[in-house]
C-alpha cells in the first residue's frame, strides 16, 4: 500500500509539472503574439506620421513655394538617410526614395548633393516665385499638392505640386 501511494504522488507530481510547462508555453506564445502586434502597430504609426508630413498639404488652399521647399527638404533628408543618390527618373515606390515634382520638374536631392548647392537651388526657386509678385498681384503663387503612396512600402514616394 505504501508503494502505491508513493507511485500516486509521483504521478501527480509529473502531471502538475506537465501542466506548469504547458501553461508556460501557452503564455509564451500568447505574449509573443502580443509583442508582434505591438511592433506592427508602432511601425504603422511611424509610417502614418511620416506620410502626414506630405499628405497634410493635400487639399489646402494656401500652399506656397515655401511649403513646397519644406516638402523638398524633407524628401532630400529622407533620400540622404537611406543613401539614395539623386535620380533622373520618378521614383517607382519600390523603395523609400521620394520624388518632389514642382510643375513637372524634380526638385528633391540625394546623397551626393552638397548642402550649399541644394540651398542655392531652393533659394533660386523661391526668388523666382517672389519676383513674380507684381503691383497688381501682391500674393505668392498657390500650388495644388497630390501625393502618391506605395502599395509596397506604404510610404509616400511621389509628391506633385502644380501651380493653380
pLDDT at 135: 65
Q: Residue 153 domain-assigned?
A: yes
Q: Residue 35 domain-assigned?
A: no
Dist. CA 83–CA 40, nearest whole Å? 25
Q: Residue 41 domain-assigned?
A: no
Q: Residue 120 domain-assigned?
A: yes
Domain carrying residue 64: 56-163
Q: Residue 156 domain-assigned?
A: yes
Do 158 and 90 contact (CB within 8 A), yes or no? yes
Q: Residue 112 domain-assigned?
A: yes
pLDDT at 50: 96
pLDDT at 1: 67
Dist. CA 104–CA 145, nearest whole Å? 12
Q: Residue 75 domain-assigned?
A: yes
For the chain (164 residues), the mean pLDDT of every run of 10, in chain order, is 82 90 86 78 94 95 95 96 89 89 94 91 92 80 95 95 93
User: Degrees (nearest 5) of the Cα angle 42, 80, 53?
Assistant: 45
pLDDT at 52: 96
Q: Residue 139 domain-assigned?
A: yes
Work out how many domains the chain is built from and give that number. 1
Amino acid at each position: 500500500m505504501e508503494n502505491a501511494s508513493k507511485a500516486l504522488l509521483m504521478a501527480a507530481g509529473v502531471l502538475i509539472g506537465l501542466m506548469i510547462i504547458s501553461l508556460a508555453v501557452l503564455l509564451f506564445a500568447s505574449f509573443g503574439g502580443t509583442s508582434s502586434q505591438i511592433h506592427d502597430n508602432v511601425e504603422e504609426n511611424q509610417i502614418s506620421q511620416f506620410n502626414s508630413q506630405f499628405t497634410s498639404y493635400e487639399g489646402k488652399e494656401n500652399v506656397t513655394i515655401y511649403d513646397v521647399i519644406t516638402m523638398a527638404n524633407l524628401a532630400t533628408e529622407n533620400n540622404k538617410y537611406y543613401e539614395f543618390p539623386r535620380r533622373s527618373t520618378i521614383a517607382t515606390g519600390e523603395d523609400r526614395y521620394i520624388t518632389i515634382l514642382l510643375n513637372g520638374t524634380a526638385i528633391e536631392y540625394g546623397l551626393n548633393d552638397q548642402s550649399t548647392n541644394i540651398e542655392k537651388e531652393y533659394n533660386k526657386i523661391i526668388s523666382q516665385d517672389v519676383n513674380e509678385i507684381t503691383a497688381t498681384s501682391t500674393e505668392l503663387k498657390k500650388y495644388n499638392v497630390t501625393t502618391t503612396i506605395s502599395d509596397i512600402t506604404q510610404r509616400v514616394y511621389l509628391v506633385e505640386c502644380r501651380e493653380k
